Structure 1
């Protein structure tokens, strides 16, 4: 595989040539860096573009490395990281002698959990995970309403309701009654991926199928939806705790 040097780091990338492309496209996923370039693009031109995007590429690679490590089931102990909208936030567990129920909050860029000193660590996940999920659902709903308003105003179609729940096999769905259901785990993904799922379901308010007209609507609302769709296909299995 070809390489390029960015600072002190040597980065591999997979290069694909295409006579259908007019510009160089760079993407990063769990498999690494993927470059699609026109047949006529010179290697030096490609390398120059990689260097210009070097900081972004390194950040994406680090994010995927964190995702791989986060696939291990969390124990909800101090020092672990919990995801939200594509970022990882450290968890700090605070033990207290006060007679309080376990609780979890987000403060100054980190999750904080409060548990009684007599609760053993092996019970933390059982007690704290439901609280974390409820936090994600609550914050996810705030995010969803804001983003959905933006897309709905452009599309001029509005759902009757939005529900965030635990869905085993779908990231989202749209019912005949014009209700949009979202899997809470989608809010572990980057915000742009959540946008794709919202647009995917919103377009179903007009087209309850996956016809050409449907995908044209998705593209109108989110021109680069294909990249988001592919990201979700490749990385969806990492969206868990």
Structure 2
């Protein structure tokens, strides 16, 4: 309730919860009437919020659990006869993890995230120069790390001289390569335009004409990716 508010208002929150904003002095029956009158709007908006809610799955460090890399699915194989027991690696179409890591879920998670960071960095390093050339921007320093729910960030040098730094979130490397390319193009565009105005999107479109389709695909597929939760 707000003393300054003159009208009722409804907000559908990111988690699909509904907040009713009520002016001071209005009755509960007035509020109920307002909600009933706006029920169709509420139903449609809540459905959209539900569709956009993250569906990030949890994972278990057990034999056969699936993990994605560059759009392909790999099953986890637990081994106990390797000296690289602190490592994770790909071999013969399987993602391999030492048994000691699998039994210590905290260490196992750290090892998996480190694997995505290392392999993702190696992959994007080979991919970056052609995109920078296509967009006529200096090739930035790149790192792969934990960015929370963000796919990427770009930071210019403080003095505005020289290449900036592009950071990519490790979960990005679960996605197909064409969606990683979209994120790379998006972040490189920030080397020239900081915000997301019309000039920014024109620059992205010149480099990637199908950017709208890829953005929609990223929004849909991205929320289904594993974000690091181990159970």
Name the TM-score, length of structure 1 as normaliser: 0.64
The structure number with the bigger radius of gyration is 2
Shift in Å, 1:99: 7.5
User: 2:110 is matched with which residue?
Assistant: 130
- Residue of structure 2 in register with 1:213 after alignment: 199
**Within 5 A, what are the aligned runs for 1:10-159?**
71-96=56-81, 101-116=85-100, 123-159=103-139
Equivalent pairs counted in the alignment come to 168
RMSD over aligned CA atoms reads 2.1
1:183 aligned to 2:163?
no
How big is each residue's C-alpha offset from its partner over 1:91-141, in whole Å with a ceiling of 9 and x where there is no partner? Answer: 110124x8864322111111111224xx8x6x3432222112111111111
Tell me the secondary structure at the aligned position of residue 238 of structure 1. Answer: coil
CA distance in 2 between partners of 1:125 and 1:83 (Å): 19
Any runs of at least 4 consecutive aligned residues in structure 1 with deviations exceeding 6 A, and if so which? none
Give ranges in structure 1 of 5+ residues lacking alignment: 1-30, 32-67
After TM superposition, give the deviation of residue 162 of structure 1 in Å.
Answer: 0.8
Quick one: which of 208, 212, 215 aligns to 1:229?
215
Match of 2:62, SS state, is: coil
Residues 80 and 91 of structure 1 are in contact (CA less than 8 Å); yes or no, is this contact kept in structure 2?
yes
Rate the CA distance shift 1:100–1:187 in 2: closer, same or farther, 3 A: closer
- Does structure 2 conserve the Cα–Cα contact (< 8 Å) formed by 1:159 and 1:180? no
Higher strand share: 1
Return the TM-score normalized by structure 2. Answer: 0.66
Where does structure 2 lack aligned partners over 5 or more consecutive residues?
1-50, 158-163
Which region of structure 1 is more displaced relative to structure 2, 155-164 or 104-113? 155-164
Q: Which has the higher contact order (CA 8 A, sep 6+)?
A: 2
